[in-house]
Structure 1
Amino acid sequence: MENFIVSARKYRPATFETVVGQQHITGTLKNAIKNNQLAQAFLFCGPRGVGKTTCARILAKTINCTNPTADIEACGQCENCVSFQTGHSFNIHELDAASNNSVDDIRSLIEQVRIPPQAGKYKIYIIDEVHMLSANAFNAFLKTLEEPPSYAIFILATTEKHKILPTILSRCQIFDFNRIQVEDISSHLATIAQRESIAYEPDGLHIIAQKADGGLRDALSMFDQIASYANKNITYKSVIDNLNILDYDYFFKLTNHLTAAEVSDTLLLFDEILNNGFDGNNFINGLATHFRNLLVGKDAATIKLLEVSENIKQKYLDQCRKTELSFLLTALNLANTCDLNYKNSKNQRLQVELALIKMCHIRSVVQLAQQPLNTDNTATDSDQDKKKTNVVAEKAPQAESLISKSESESLSNPAKKLPETEVPLSKSVEEKPKETPRQSTMPSASSISINIPKVNAASTLIPSLNDLNRVANGEEDNGPKKATGDAREAFSYDRLLEVWNNYIKILKGADKINLFTILNNFPPTLLNPTLIEISVESKTQEQLVQQESVELMNFLRHQLQNFAVDITFKLVERKIENRLYGNREKYDYLVNKNPKLDDLRRRFNLDINP
């Protein structure tokens, strides 16, 4: 019985022509060999399994070939090629830096570099996973890498270029390998399947290529695994069963349920997916990818971004014609929000189910926001346009009770900023009064109950809800002014000191000692009827007062009945008339600055030295 050789080794490229998906690399290397412009050091970097070490070996074999072909490929028959293929070449050395990363290993390599090649033109040193070298090993390698002998060429390979010292990078020609495209991997697997007499379905190979995420070695490993699992008959079902991948049909069926607002069927299908062993986070990510594919399928210019087989692509094109753009944008946003909140949620299943329920109601929300307005025949065109414009603004809060603010903004008129408050859908519109001709049938702003917490209008600068409704309806404010932003009652300096001392007492009672000390040091100065100057001894004190300035301003304006009051700061230097010599004098001075110091002394039963 012959030993089995995995496809990743059996079908490893031996020439530049057979390298998959890296034409920009192989073309550059062939031109460099043809024009005799080989660098002294190369750095191949890129993801795993994309051909870095393979290209390094092909380059090493080709530059030592004594009879290269017209296409600058190794002949495979000369003495140097045969010795390389059998593993007996003395001119090509490979070093695994993951296990040989010390200074001694690099010094041993440098000693070998001094010996010229016995056969062939060059000695090539391939160092794989070079980022694993220690800092000292890199430093020991610097001089040799910068000025190697004319016959020495170094080829470094790594998956993590950012870990390599900049001094090493500056001495190398850097080649960035790309992730291999899905179509390239799929066609390569089809070629291998034909050679191995393995039956396959194109959709199955396409799923393997997508799962490999640009790595051909991973794709070949999965290919061998599924070929054994399915007894050399790779089908679409065998691939998704073996690799634990959610079937496309689940997402197509689920999208039909969502667009038809079939909540029960949607939740039952999600339960079936969970019972099959799939994770909720993988499901919501797969659903987001499905919506993304439907979105790019709506435009002929972006159809090429669908990295699926032709059979699956046709299904996407059929479904995207039946799905509105507004649904896809909102569903994508909901899926993304669910993904962000999934890991932090204590009930992760409920998190996904809530997102699915919201998706089911997207169409009804859109229809609600776009519901036409019933107007009298006597209304003019301008009146109808004005009323029609107000529909979205009045309906938008209802939409926000079903979907979040970010989703409703993508559905509504982009020129209209929606309110940020939420309105219960069942109580959003109250009973309408009798209408007169030329009057809108939609409820006015005052008839919409907005869920805003009640506040004391006399203790805040925020306008009341009645003021907002009055402005929205274009009414004039003819009522009396009671402690509103327009109050400008004159006050005396004695009245200011009285209010100031009351606020200081409030600060002391609230244990805000730092702020109490600052405001108690100097009395306020009234620069003009509405401008109050506060004296501070440092910028730090000024910043501390500014942090509390909102509460201070609200208190002063309310107590003084003047909402034009403002404050400013003045930096002063505190002068101490008497020099403090004794400990008792110093202590009394500090207690005057911070009364809590005396509490601290009594708590720890401390005495003051004379």
Structure 2
Amino acid sequence: MEQFIVSARKYRPAVFKDVVGQQAITNTLENAIKNNHLAQALLFTGPRGVGKTTCARILAKEINQDGTQKEDEDFAFNIFELDAASNNSVDDIRNLIDQVRIPPQVGKYKVYIIDEVHMLSAAAFNAFLKTLEEPPRHAIFILATTEKHKIIPTILSRCQIFDFRRIGVRDIKEHLAEVARSEGIEAEDDALHIIAEKADGALRDALSIFDRVVSFAGKHLTREAVTENLNVLDYTWYFQITDLLLENNIPQVLITYNEILSKGFDGHHFVMGLASHFRDLLVARNQETIELLEVGEQVKAMYLEQSQKTSQQFLIDGIGIANSCDLKYKLSQNQRLLVELCLMQLASLTNQGEKKKLDSRLVVNIADNQNPFVLPPSHFRSPQSAPRNEINKGQQVTSAGSMVPKPIKEEKIEPETNRVSEPEDKSSSKNITIENKIPSEISTPNNPEESRESPSSKNNNSEPPNQKVIERPQILAERNARKISALSLKSIKKKQQLKEEFIASQPEIEDFPTEEFSEEEMKTAWHSYAEVVQKEGKFNLLSHLTMGVPKLEGSIIHLEFPNHTIKTEVERAKFELLEFLREKLQNYDIDLDITVNETEEKKYAYSPREKFEKLKEKNPLIEKLRQEFDLDI
């Protein structure tokens, strides 16, 4: 029985023209030999299985040919191959240097091929420098490596460097077809294409895969046999998944993905393949980029057909979603759910019935010009719980309890008798009328300097009995009190001064409600204000308000905090808090008493001896246990 020889050895190129995918390098070497322009130190670098050692052997053979040699002469006595992975010491390099001095017995040159040269030690590199720079005339060194960056610069500067590139899928497929014809094997084009893709640019790997698949499938290679043997996900699955995504058929997409997993394929491999499939569809949409599609003719026709069904935006979004899933896959704790979520998002890209609609609660139209604007956060607060000072100017409260913008109309100047209220002091600013309880409509004039009645209120000349007058300086004082920072002594004094001005500017009205309330009702109102604060996003204030339990004594609410910083932060919101509680509980005698309690119980650290004495007091038998086993403390 004849011994089997693997294809990588059997079909190793013997001349430069048989080398696959490295035409630029082989042409350079052929011209250098022909013109006697060959350097004495060459470095072949590149990925595995692309022809570095093969080109070195061909070069060593051709430079010794003079036309008188035999046809099968291989000049084995002139070619020395050294594996630097196992011969990487200084002594190995010294032995090599000693051999270099001896001229060749046959031929013109001695060729030294040092494979995996990056494995040499630093001392071996340094010992090799002088000989590499000035070798004898009959010696040529060819260094081969896959990791050029590990070679010291002094070696690189003494060599002529040739960078071998990865071999293209098309070149590998054509070479495999020639090997198949030589072996009498019928191979489908798609089957050879899958092998070429699996080889990842290495022809030696492609030939090894080819031998394995032939052992599995025999003399007839089919796409199904190759995908089954190599455990490669067939591209037909991706075409099927894409059709389901375009149909927005999420249940069937998930079922198909489950079938893929049940066949033993990895979800990460599936996601990467899906992103590549979308990329190939995007490339197939344009005649200028279709040459970038490295597939067989039969598959190319399928890509062209499906690319007409998809839109460019769908493919771009799909690549982005699949790529995001690819990046998150290894970090995910539930990888299957991550891929399923990716598929559901892809299936929803073309669903016209689920397009996002603008929330009608956030955008309303102005009656006159129909220009949309976004309502403030106070729009979403109920009139009963909203502080009166947060009602926006230009808004009115409807009978349903929601605030909508009032139509913007020009206000005509009315006689002085139509004013809502007249201050006793003529030098003070004009007044703004706000009811004690939230009215059904609040009219705000366009010109704050001219507080005149709106035309809609001409027919109602009588004021409600519960109406109170708040002067403009009072409102400004309250606003300024909120804006003052409390992070310095100067700001605290300024805040106290504004507070006194605010209290002094309040009108003395004796008809404020002072209804009685219980501590439970106070706590309920307190929690209601905390919810308002949370909705406004004031989480720092929320943590302070929920830190302790407020205690009620009469109409005074006592609060106790561990430091002055928290006290200051709460005092900044005191006016809003009091106004909310008074309105909620219908008692305007409510006030806050905020104190600081910084007393803390001192804690002492006990030594091991003190801990042992404490334990011995509780259980005297511990001392007996220590003596019995002669234990140290």
TM-score, scaled to structure 2 = 0.62
Residues 87-486 of structure 1: pairs in structure 2 closer than 5 A: 89-364=76-351, 368=355, 395=358, 428-430=359-361, 439=370, 445-446=374-375
Computed over aligned residues only, the root mean square deviation of the Cα atoms, in angstroms, reads 4.2
Task: Please give the alpha-carbon distance, in whole angstroms, between the structure 2 residues aligned to 1:63 and 1:247.
Answer: 47
1:32 CA drift (Å): 0.7
Task: Please give the alpha-carbon distance, in whole angstroms, between the structure 1 residues aligned to 2:31 and 2:571.
Answer: 81
Task: Please give the alpha-carbon distance, in whole angstroms, between the structure 2 residues aligned to 1:232 and 1:181.
Answer: 25
Amino acid at match of 1:305: L
Residues 481 and 487 of structure 1 are in contact (CA less than 8 Å); yes or no, is this contact kept in structure 2?
no
**Deviation per residue, 1:456-507 (Å, 9 max, x gap):** x99xxxxx9989x99x99999979668769977799x974475899xxxxxx
Amino acid at match of 1:344: L
Q: After the TM superposition, which of the residue ranges 341-350 and 294-303 deviates more from structure 2?
A: 294-303
Aligned length: 438
1:320 CA drift (Å): 1.0
- Cα distance 1:43–1:433, how it changes in 2: closer, same or farther (>3 A)? closer
1:587 corresponding residue in structure 2: none
2:69 corresponding residue in structure 1: 78
Amino acid at match of 1:111: D
Residues 528-567 of structure 1: pairs in structure 2 closer than 5 A: none
Task: Please give the alpha-carbon distance, in whole angstroms, between the structure 2 residues aligned to 1:319 and 1:308.
Answer: 15
1:150 CA drift (Å): 1.0
Q: Secondary structure at the match of 1:301?
A: coil
1:44 corresponding residue in structure 2: 44
1:366 CA drift (Å): 9.4
1:344 CA drift (Å): 1.2
**Deviation per residue, 1:54-83 (Å, 9 max, x gap):** 00000110111112xxxxxxxxx824x634
Q: Secondary structure at the match of 2:288?
A: helix
Task: Please give the alpha-carbon distance, in whole angstroms, between the structure 2 residues aligned to 1:450 and 1:226.
Answer: 71
1:271 CA drift (Å): 0.3
Q: After the TM superposition, which of the residue ranges 473-482 and 129-138 deviates more from structure 2?
A: 473-482
1:16 corresponding residue in structure 2: 16
Task: Please give the alpha-carbon distance, in whole angstroms, between the structure 1 residues aligned to 2:363 and 2:492.
Answer: 53
Task: Please give the alpha-carbon distance, in whole angstroms, between the structure 2 residues aligned to 1:466 and 1:601.
Answer: 56
**Deviation per residue, 1:304-356 (Å, 9 max, x gap):** 11111111111111111110111111111111111111111111100100110
1:570 corresponding residue in structure 2: none
Task: Please give the alpha-carbon distance, in whole angstroms, between the structure 2 residues aligned to 1:124 and 1:487.
Answer: 88
- Cα distance 1:481–1:225, how it changes in 2: closer, same or farther (>3 A)? farther
Task: Please give the alpha-carbon distance, in whole angstroms, between the structure 1 residues aligned to 2:43 and 2:478.
Answer: 75
Q: Secondary structure at the match of 2:21?
A: coil
Residues 126 and 154 of structure 1 are in contact (CA less than 8 Å); yes or no, is this contact kept in structure 2?
yes
Task: Please give the alpha-carbon distance, in whole angstroms, between the structure 1 residues aligned to 2:378 and 2:18.
Answer: 71
Consecutive unaligned residues in structure 2, runs of 5 or more = 396-402, 409-445, 449-471, 497-564, 576-601, 608-633
Task: Please give the alpha-carbon distance, in whole angstroms, between the structure 2 residues aligned to 1:271 and 1:474.
Answer: 58
Residues 40 and 154 of structure 1 are in contact (CA less than 8 Å); yes or no, is this contact kept in structure 2?
yes
- State the identity as a percent: 53
Residues 499 and 556 of structure 1 are in contact (CA less than 8 Å); yes or no, is this contact kept in structure 2?
no
Residues 186 and 205 of structure 1 are in contact (CA less than 8 Å); yes or no, is this contact kept in structure 2?
yes
1:202 CA drift (Å): 0.5
**Deviation per residue, 1:520-576 (Å, 9 max, x gap):** xxxxxxxxxxxxxxxxxxxxxxxxxxxxxxx99x96996999xxxxxxxxxxxxxxx
1:175 CA drift (Å): 0.4
**Deviation per residue, 1:77-121 (Å, 9 max, x gap):** 824x6342xxx6221100111111111111111100010111211
Task: Please give the alpha-carbon distance, in whole angstroms, between the structure 1 residues aligned to 2:391 and 2:23.
Answer: 67
Amino acid at match of 1:179: R
**Deviation per residue, 1:250-300 (Å, 9 max, x gap):** 000100101110001100000000000000000001101101111122222
Q: Secondary structure at the match of 1:120?
A: coil
Q: Secondary structure at the match of 1:322?
A: coil
Residues 430 and 448 of structure 1 are in contact (CA less than 8 Å); yes or no, is this contact kept in structure 2?
no
- Cα distance 1:24–1:104, how it changes in 2: closer, same or farther (>3 A)? same
1:54 corresponding residue in structure 2: 54
Amino acid at match of 1:350: L
Task: Please give the alpha-carbon distance, in whole angstroms, between the structure 2 residues aligned to 1:37 and 1:319.
Answer: 54
Consecutive unaligned residues in structure 1, runs of 5 or more = 68-76, 370-393, 396-427, 459-463, 502-550, 562-598, 605-610
Amino acid at match of 1:82: D
Q: Secondary structure at the match of 1:29?
A: helix
Task: Please give the alpha-carbon distance, in whole angstroms, between the structure 2 residues aligned to 1:52 and 1:230.
Answer: 31
Task: Please give the alpha-carbon distance, in whole angstroms, between the structure 2 residues aligned to 1:367 and 1:286.
Answer: 28
Answer with 1 or 2: which has the greater Rg.
Answer: 2
Q: After the TM superposition, which of the residue ranges 360-369 and 190-199 deviates more from structure 2?
A: 360-369
Task: Please give the alpha-carbon distance, in whole angstroms, between the structure 2 residues aligned to 1:483 and 1:201.
Answer: 85
Task: Please give the alpha-carbon distance, in whole angstroms, between the structure 1 residues aligned to 2:375 and 2:288.
Answer: 48
**Deviation per residue, 1:562-605 (Å, 9 max, x gap):** xxxxxxxxxxxxxxxxxxxxxxxxxxxxxxxxxxxxx999989x
- Asked if 1:28 is matched to 2:37, the reply is no
Residues 489 and 560 of structure 1 are in contact (CA less than 8 Å); yes or no, is this contact kept in structure 2?
no
Residues 331 and 359 of structure 1 are in contact (CA less than 8 Å); yes or no, is this contact kept in structure 2?
yes
